[in-house]
Structure 1
Amino acid sequence: MTEPGGWTPDENTVKHANLTRFMAWLSETGRGDFADYQQLWQKSIDDIAWFWDAVWRYFDIRASTPADTVLASREMPGAQWFPGATLNYAVEAFRHETDRHPALVVAGEDGATEWSWSRLRSETAAFANYLRRLGVKPGDRVVGYLPNVGEAVAAFLGAAAVGATWAVCNPDLAVDGVVARLGQLEPTVLVASDGTVYAGKRHDRSKELAEIRAKLPTLKATVLVPRLGTQPPDDVVPWSTVLELDAPLEITPVPFDHPLWVLFSSGTTGTPKGIVHGHGGVVLEHLKYLSLHADLNPGERFMWFSTTSWMMWNLLVSGLLVGATVVCYDGSPTYPKTDSLWKIVADNKVNLFGAGAGYFLGCAKEQSKPGANYPLDALRCVGSTGSPLPAAGFRWIQEGVGRQLPVMSMSGGTDVVTAFIGGCPLVPIVAGELNVICLGADVQAWTDENTPVVGEAGELVLTQPMPSMPVFFWNDPDGSRYRKAYFDKYPGVWCHGDWITITERNSVVVHGRSDATLNRMGVRMGSAEIYNSVETLPEIKDCLVVGVEQEDGGYWMPLFVHLADDAKLDDALRDKIVTAIRNGASPRHVPDDIIDVPGIPRTMTGKRLEIPIKRILLGAKPEDVVSRSAVDQPDLLPVFTEHART
């Protein structure tokens, strides 16, 4: 009998799974016979060129010119996949166009609208035509300041069709955060919304947009999407004007590794890094994950609650690659009550629904029963990511929905815009565990001795390349920032910064980040952005923020502050700190507690001891996590043991 929170596929699920069809195709075409998922996964890492060639051929990638070979070089970083091939993400996105079901459902707190495939094609084509008239060429950057609305999808696809490189920030990000990200790309065109509707309120972003435009001097044009219906300035082009440039959709073929989009790191050590992904790698990886792992089918409705700043938005849009209907939601997940997001799922008959683990845990704390409140008959699978989902979270989802459906947790990152570890419809799920390592991902858990281990925690590493690894980092001509990000600890081996345990069943338990990235509700942010906001206050001498994963699946984010001599941490100063973070960094990263300490210990080179302090807060002894000789004020370390949560 399957334990609560777990799941075992029945015969019908296995028979009709996309992965079963893929394995049958491998057999029929003489590529091999595989008794189960584990055998197929082993082959996929024993011969990665074989596997990715099979993915290319099975999904019949519509390349304009063929590849010379599958893998010209397997060196990391710098693996060369499918050299010579030319293709375009937009071609694959529209190949499933049909009038039998919509391409998008665009939902918000103020209602929902269906976008037909023909509408999506028309608006994509018009925007691509507009870009070409402006002189936008392959490689130019087109950026967005947009919520999760249909125009964001059309603008992205239009940019991709031209061969331009796309990047986007959600409007809840502070102006300085937007400029720190988009400004480094020197963009040619900005597509922006006039605001958002969130938590029952209309949030006008006209002032912020004007500031952003003033700080992006390379812009040739700004296009305004009327989320609130405000009157655009005279020097801004309304989206409706763009749509008047009706034309057939023209798609420019580009090389396999041509930059498709730039996603941004959390900015832990300063300016967020621009992580560049190529057309071909994204197409192959997202087809593999969404079809073979998530078991997503044409016509099914796919929704993942995400802002446009999170990589899950990119994966959500890629539901188009398999012909699914993508359900976009722009609004609060908890307005007017905590389980309101489930109403969106029910109203739009979503089949596969995902969100950050924090959202599900919030519902669990309130003992919500969405299955009793809303008709969730269409829902067949729930996905979770962003942070580890404990076994209790798996159990609550099934209890809340009212039946034992699969809960597929996944773990990967912005770095590869996918999951290394995730779900599989052929393999049982144990609550609290990710049931498989993904196909083509040579994931191991390594100890500090560079030794792979099973049954104990280690660093998540990949010993072989994947096609969706970054093509390069923006403004990193010699590749040094790229190498430092992933290959400093183990040269030639990708070290991701997660602590994991691979079980004897080949499932995986993710324990959380091994670095200092803040990960709130699945949205990652670097501590530097918090510091930049707080340290402008005259009352603050120094500060330190960490995110601490709790045993119950919660996430505690304290901010330690060292006050100026005449300052007092009263309610007024707490409010001032919160406002500074909310306006200068992100409202999602307001700390849970603000704690007065007599000082902030640093290394001898001036770096905050974020990782050692995090481990102390998890119960470790100071002498076990950092050498006193490496700390400028080692006598401060015991102060943090007083706040440990074990």
Structure 2
Amino acid sequence: MSKAEPKTLWEPSFNFIKNSNIMKYTEWLASNYDKDFIPTDNAKNNVEIYKNLWKWSVDNLEDFWESIWNFSKIVYHSQYKKVLENRQMPGTKWFTGATLNFAENVLRNVKVKGNDEAIIYVREDGFKKIITWNEFEAQVGSLSSWFRSIGIKKGDRIAAYVSQVPEAVIALFAAAAIGAIWVAVGSEIAARATIDRFKLVEPKLLIAVDGYIFKESTVKKTQDIKDIVKSIPSIEHVVLIPNLNINEKIDINKKTYIWDEVAKDLKEKPIFENLLFDDPLWILFTSGTTGIPKPVVHSHGGITLEANKAAPMHLDVSQNDKFLWYSSPSWMMWNTVVMGLLAGATSVFYDGSPMIKNLEPLWEVAEKESLTILGTSAPFLHSCMKIGLQPGSQFKLNKLRELGSTGAPLSPDAFEWIYKNVNDNIWLNPASGGTDIVSGFVGGCPMLPVWKGEMQCRWLGVKVEAYNSEGKPVINEVGEMVIELPMPSMPIYFWGDPEYKWYKESYFNMFPGVWWHGDWLMVTDRGSTIIFGRSDSTIKRKGVRMGTLDFYKIVESLPEVINSLVVEVKGKTFLFVVLKPGTELSDDLKNKINENLKKNLGPYFVADYIIQVPDIPQTFNFKKLEIPVKKALLGWDLNKAVNLANVINPEAFFKVVEAGKPFAEQIKEE
């Protein structure tokens, strides 16, 4: 059964398509693979052409990824022997025999870009820094040389506790150049949660900012740095980035350096370690929903290849772009902006809160820096819509041709608002992917129309399907989002998980041999996609994810709290608490709980609603019913939201839902 076609809000002009990377790629494909997927000036035809291109890319996986390798002119030292050794997930072997380096593939742009801007840094208080491609290469060379001089070698972990400062980008590429492994946590995350993550990977070096500015306040991080170093004995050296020039002595009994001391000799060019395709590039952390955050390891080759597909083909990033996607180093979208450098674009970083001054800072940066691509989150755009912001008339956004959105589903009303209040001729490009692959599964393509409330397509090379309860792919129906075939940027493993135990439990328990992602997805007969939210229970605020275990450790450490359960409903955090007998949930206690969350997890993770309940519903193996409670508060039929046969205390489930429902209905009415 076909799905009624929603309103078309935008169609690319043929001139827009002709100037896109997807046009260049399909023309190259016609010449080199004798495949005709070249877009036309007919929008309806292009929908079918893209569907055929996508089908070719997944039916001929080896040919497709080899074409990306060749079209992108990957810089390598040893040629691959085979594109795909096997299709087993996990454990897929890509481009066996190839050697390369991610940093080298990015810094090759220096030859063309030279004194052009590589990085633009804009801080909330107006401070601005520009780093050219020549300066970028020189600082990477200097820092990577210093890393080697203190004994950092291939495979060592370099941890970063940073905001969106440009030094973080330089440090990442210096680490990659020598084959060290980059591990970052945003400085908005409290020390305790950061320690939990860094302890897993035993870093040898810590790079940290002394502080940052957020919501017009100075946030000092010196005490957090002390706590982190004290708690992680593997750290031998510390480099401080004087972002705010806080003159506080940090007595940590480790070799401590100031940034300018280690990146000052700008004469030496980087020497790139020759690395295997599967050698680790960086470690990103999952949210920790079902336990300690999992350290996900991605490879030099996998990220180099995926970024050479994602940024040009689906974000249409090129050398002439200025590209900002508001994020945090804790979130994979920061890595995505970094990967924009691979296409030769100027990466722009805004370090501060986008929520101050009537939500104007990001739009101000877009105007002042003449951004061509601005990425943000659905909650931010919803907030702009809610207060009646009109960025198109309030700011000069004539250079802005693309607006990206991710982090949560973008509502159909927000689609309409953007085309009425930002620009009626902008490419709106919402996408959905994950930390797991540092890329997207579904999203945009510049040759396709934008339909209200939908993402334009399944990304090339991604065999994404919506599975019904029988594990069969369905069209025009909501199902579990799965990936049937491997991708180069899938994790090579989880750190400390050589037997793939965590890995298999995370992605392959629901459908053996098929990647399960935890989203509700619909694929339409036009090839467009709709995400209906996550089917797991991660708490995500302002683009930063946090697992529920982190909440429980803090909340249940308070003497007044016996048990708790946390869920996110429509962007609001509901915290249900069971208190000691005789204890009432006073305003003072609510404030105490939130102050502890703010102190230990960060300011994003205070609860919107704290609700007292007599008990927390659990399964027989003592797992809290986070997802069923969330579904019930979203309005699901209770019989469909939970299987009470698996619940040890069914009455607790009904009481939690009853207590939370008035607040959930209040959100719907706002």
State if a TM-score over 0.5 links the two structures.
yes
Equivalence map 1:172-191=2 (5 Å): 172-191=188-207
The aligned residue for residue 507 of structure 1 is 528
Q: Distance in 2 between matches of 1:515 and 1:254?
A: 36
Equivalence map 1:532-543=2 (5 Å): 532-543=553-564
Cα RMSD, aligned residues only: 1.5
1:32 maps to 2:35: yes
User: Which of these residues, 236, 241, 253, is aligned with residue 256 of structure 2?
Assistant: 236
Tell whether the 8 Å contact from 1:195 to 1:227 is kept in structure 2 after alignment: yes
Tell whether the 8 Å contact from 2:115 to 2:132 is kept in structure 1 after alignment: no
The aligned residue for residue 195 of structure 1 is 211
1:207 maps to 2:223: yes
Q: Distance in 2 between matches of 1:23 and 1:534?
A: 54
Amino acid at match of 1:640: V
Change (3 A) 1:5 1:586: farther
User: Which of these residues, 626, 632, 635, is aligned with residue 648 of structure 2?
Assistant: 632
Tell whether the 8 Å contact from 1:123 to 1:243 is kept in structure 2 after alignment: yes
Higher alpha-carbon deviation: 558-567 or 350-359: 558-567
Tell whether the 8 Å contact from 2:323 to 2:340 is kept in structure 1 after alignment: yes
Equivalence map 1:351-370=2 (5 Å): 351-370=372-391
User: 1:594 offset after TM fit, Å?
Assistant: 1.0
Structure 2: 5+ residue stretches without partners: 39-48, 666-670
The aligned residue for residue 363 of structure 2 is 342
SS of the aligned residue for 1:145 comes to: strand
Q: Distance in 1 between matches of 2:635 and 2:213?
A: 42
Tell whether the 8 Å contact from 1:128 to 1:159 is kept in structure 2 after alignment: yes
Equivalence map 1:226-305=2 (5 Å): 226-231=242-247, 233=250, 235-246=255-266, 247-305=268-326
User: 1:245 offset after TM fit, Å?
Assistant: 4.0
User: 1:54 offset after TM fit, Å?
Assistant: 0.1
Amino acid at match of 2:575: L
The aligned residue for residue 19 of structure 2 is 16
Change (3 A) 1:521 1:5: farther
Equivalence map 1:302-317=2 (5 Å): 302-317=323-338
TM-score, normalised to structure 2, is 0.93
Q: Distance in 2 between matches of 1:400 and 1:576?
A: 41
Tell whether the 8 Å contact from 2:617 to 2:652 is kept in structure 1 after alignment: yes
The aligned residue for residue 552 of structure 1 is none
Q: Distance in 1 between matches of 2:428 and 2:323?
A: 15
The C-alpha deviation readout for 1:554-596, integer Å capped at 9, x for no partner, is x232111111112111211111111111111232122221111
Tell whether the 8 Å contact from 2:115 to 2:134 is kept in structure 1 after alignment: no
Change (3 A) 1:303 1:621: same
The aligned residue for residue 41 of structure 2 is none
Q: Distance in 2 between matches of 1:121 and 1:413?
A: 29
User: Which of these residues, 9, 13, 23, is aligned with residue 6 of structure 1?
Assistant: 9
Q: Distance in 2 between matches of 1:535 and 1:265?
A: 22
User: 1:627 offset after TM fit, Å?
Assistant: 3.4
1:430 maps to 2:451: yes
Higher alpha-carbon deviation: 308-317 or 596-605: 596-605
Amino acid at match of 2:202: E
Higher alpha-carbon deviation: 559-568 or 258-267: 559-568
Q: Distance in 2 between matches of 1:7 and 1:366?
A: 24
The C-alpha deviation readout for 1:495-552, integer Å capped at 9, x for no partner, is 0000011111110000010111112233221111111111111111111011124xxx
SS of the aligned residue for 1:483 comes to: helix
Equivalence map 1:95-114=2 (5 Å): 95-97=108-110, 98-99=113-114, 101-110=116-125, 111-114=127-130
Amino acid at match of 1:45: V
SS of the aligned residue for 2:309 comes to: helix
Tell whether the 8 Å contact from 1:603 to 1:630 is kept in structure 2 after alignment: yes
Tell whether the 8 Å contact from 1:5 to 1:392 is kept in structure 2 after alignment: no
Higher alpha-carbon deviation: 324-333 or 620-629: 620-629
SS of the aligned residue for 1:574 comes to: helix
1:330 maps to 2:351: yes
The C-alpha deviation readout for 1:583-633, integer Å capped at 9, x for no partner, is 112321222211111111111221101111112212234333333342221
Q: Distance in 1 between matches of 2:237 and 2:493?
A: 27
Amino acid at match of 1:123: Q
Tell whether the 8 Å contact from 1:130 to 1:245 is kept in structure 2 after alignment: no
Q: Distance in 2 between matches of 1:236 and 1:212?
A: 14
SS of the aligned residue for 2:358 comes to: coil
Higher alpha-carbon deviation: 349-358 or 630-639: 630-639
Q: Distance in 2 between matches of 1:514 and 1:587?
A: 25
Amino acid at match of 2:130: E
Change (3 A) 1:629 1:33: closer
Tell whether the 8 Å contact from 1:174 to 1:586 is kept in structure 2 after alignment: yes
Tell whether the 8 Å contact from 2:160 to 2:206 is kept in structure 1 after alignment: yes
Q: Distance in 2 between matches of 1:219 and 1:522?
A: 28
User: 1:485 offset after TM fit, Å?
Assistant: 0.3
User: Which of these residues, 577, 580, 589, is aligned with residue 573 of structure 1?
Assistant: 589
Amino acid at match of 2:371: V
Equivalence map 1:420-459=2 (5 Å): 420-459=441-480
Q: Distance in 2 between matches of 1:280 and 1:370?
A: 40
Higher alpha-carbon deviation: 4-13 or 38-47: 4-13
Higher alpha-carbon deviation: 236-245 or 399-408: 399-408
Q: Distance in 2 between matches of 1:210 and 1:523?
A: 23
User: Which of these residues, 597, 602, 621, is aligned with residue 586 of structure 1?
Assistant: 602
Amino acid at match of 1:40: L
Tell whether the 8 Å contact from 1:517 to 1:527 is kept in structure 2 after alignment: yes
Amino acid at match of 2:133: W
The C-alpha deviation readout for 1:31-80, integer Å capped at 9, x for no partner, is 41225211111100001100000000000101110111100111111110
The aligned residue for residue 490 of structure 1 is 511
Tell whether the 8 Å contact from 1:357 to 1:521 is kept in structure 2 after alignment: no
Higher alpha-carbon deviation: 623-632 or 161-170: 623-632
Tell whether the 8 Å contact from 2:222 to 2:250 is kept in structure 1 after alignment: no
Q: Distance in 2 between matches of 1:402 and 1:276?
A: 39
Change (3 A) 1:628 1:460: closer
TM-score, normalised to structure 1, is 0.97
Q: Distance in 2 between matches of 1:122 and 1:99?
A: 11
User: Which of these residues, 363, 369, 386, is aligned with residue 407 of structure 2?
Assistant: 386
User: Which of these residues, 60, 63, 72, is aligned with residue 59 of structure 1?
Assistant: 72
Structure 1: 5+ residue stretches without partners: 550-554
Amino acid at match of 2:65: W
The C-alpha deviation readout for 1:79-123, integer Å capped at 9, x for no partner, is 100011010011111111123520010111132221111111111
Amino acid at match of 2:78: T
Q: How many residue pairs were aligned? A: 640
Higher alpha-carbon deviation: 143-152 or 242-251: 242-251
Q: Distance in 1 between matches of 2:553 and 2:402?
A: 40
The aligned residue for residue 41 of structure 1 is 54
Q: Distance in 2 between matches of 1:534 and 1:241?
A: 42
Higher alpha-carbon deviation: 577-586 or 429-438: 577-586
Tell whether the 8 Å contact from 2:616 to 2:656 is kept in structure 1 after alignment: no
Tell whether the 8 Å contact from 1:616 to 1:640 is kept in structure 2 after alignment: no
User: 1:340 offset after TM fit, Å?
Assistant: 2.0
User: 1:3 offset after TM fit, Å?
Assistant: 8.0
Amino acid at match of 2:191: V
Q: Percent identity?
A: 38
The aligned residue for residue 132 of structure 2 is 116
1:408 maps to 2:429: yes
Amino acid at match of 2:62: A
Tell whether the 8 Å contact from 2:328 to 2:543 is kept in structure 1 after alignment: no
Q: Distance in 2 between matches of 1:99 and 1:248?
A: 14
Q: Distance in 1 between matches of 2:614 and 2:456?
A: 45
Tell whether the 8 Å contact from 1:5 to 1:398 is kept in structure 2 after alignment: no
User: 1:200 offset after TM fit, Å?
Assistant: 1.3
